[in-house]
Amino acid sequence: MIEVFPGVFKHGNHLFTRNRVKGKRVYGEKLVVVRGVEYREWNPYRSKLAAAILNGLSVMPITHNSNVLYLGAAQGTTVSHVSDIVVDGYIVAVEISPKAMEDFLLLAKRRDNIIPILGDANKPEMYEEYLDDINVIYQDVAQPNQTEILSKNARYLKHGYTMLCVKSRSIDVVKNPKKVFRESVSQLEASGLKTEQVVDLEPYEKDHAMIISHKD
């Protein structure tokens, strides 16, 4: 196992994180034990963050002491790996769907660094009391106004990084995805977020990119 970023491990072309909850799988992933440490395999077809890492993410803003605002938690597939990585930090995880939240709560109960919030990422004022010490915002909501949502939430970021998963078809079904990604970058720059990298997520996710930006 090679540690490619703090808390992120690679063996061959497979990614792993150290399991925070020994013996427990979250989405049927493989568990492996190496020298007494249990790791969970991280599937890039199920998690855009894993896809971005395998596709050459150069700076990994999420590290052992990050406090992450995660928008669009769904059932918690990616959140669970972020929870493995931020051993000394925490995740404020927002999800709008009560159905997805039901499953997500079972995960959050077992992982003491996750604060689950049933809420709308369009309205950060509803959960602003949790945002004081956030230093990374990760967003994966697949909505037409996804850059606007990120800009609204980034107002609560004093300084740090944002990671935006852009699904071009959610913004415009016919427009060339590369054009959609360029326009998203311009909108983020206009709101004070400076682009570090744009990572294409093919072949793991079609017409998706991750935009990594920072706020000084």
Q: Which of 114, 121, 180, 212 binds ligand SAM (CB under 6 A)?
A: 121
Reference 31, options 45, 48, 19; nearest CA is: 19
Residue nearest to ligand SAM (CB): 72
Sheet of 31-34: strand order equals 2-5, 8-11, 14-18, 37-42, 31-34
Q: Which of 1, 105, 142, 198 binds ligand SAM (CB under 6 A)?
A: 142
Give the 3-state secondary structure of 52-105: HHHCCCCCCCCCCCCEEEEECCCCCHHHHHHHHHCCCCEEEEEECCHHHHHHHH
Q: Please report how close the Cβ of residue 129 comes to ligand SAM at its closest, in angstroms.
A: 17
Only one of the segments 125-133, 138-146, 177-185, 190-198 lies at the binding site for ligand SAM (rule: CB under 6 A); that segment is: 138-146
* Identity of the residue, 120 or 183, whose beta carbon is nearer to ligand SAM in the bound complex: 120
- Check binding of 84 to ligand SAM (CB under 6 A): no
* Identity of the residue, 68 or 185, whose beta carbon is nearer to ligand SAM in the bound complex: 68
Q: Please report how close the Cβ of residue 122 comes to ligand SAM at its closest, in angstroms.
A: 5
* Identity of the residue, 172 or 194, whose beta carbon is nearer to ligand SAM in the bound complex: 172
Only one of the segments 90-98, 127-135, 154-162, 190-198 lies at the binding site for ligand SAM (rule: CB under 6 A); that segment is: 90-98
> Does residue 40 contact residue 17 with C-beta atoms inside 8 Å?
yes
Other residues' Cβ atoms within 10 Å of the Cβ of residue 201? 22
> Does residue 92 contact residue 127 with C-beta atoms inside 8 Å?
yes
What residues contact 42, with CB distance under 8 A and at least 6 apart? 8, 14, 15, 16, 17, 29, 50, 81
- Check binding of 17 to ligand SAM (CB under 6 A): no
Q: Which burial class, exposed, middle or buried, applies to 14 when counting CB atoms under 10 A from its CB (0-12, 13-18, 19+)?
A: middle
Q: Which of 47, 66, 83, 168 binds ligand SAM (CB under 6 A)?
A: 47
Q: Among residue numbers 101 through 120, which ones bind ligand SAM (CB under 6 A)?
A: 120
- Check binding of 74 to ligand SAM (CB under 6 A): yes
Report which residue type is found at 205. E
- Check binding of 63 to ligand SAM (CB under 6 A): no
Interface ranges with ligand SAM (CB under 6 A): 47-48, 71-72, 74, 77-78, 94-97, 100, 120-122, 140-143
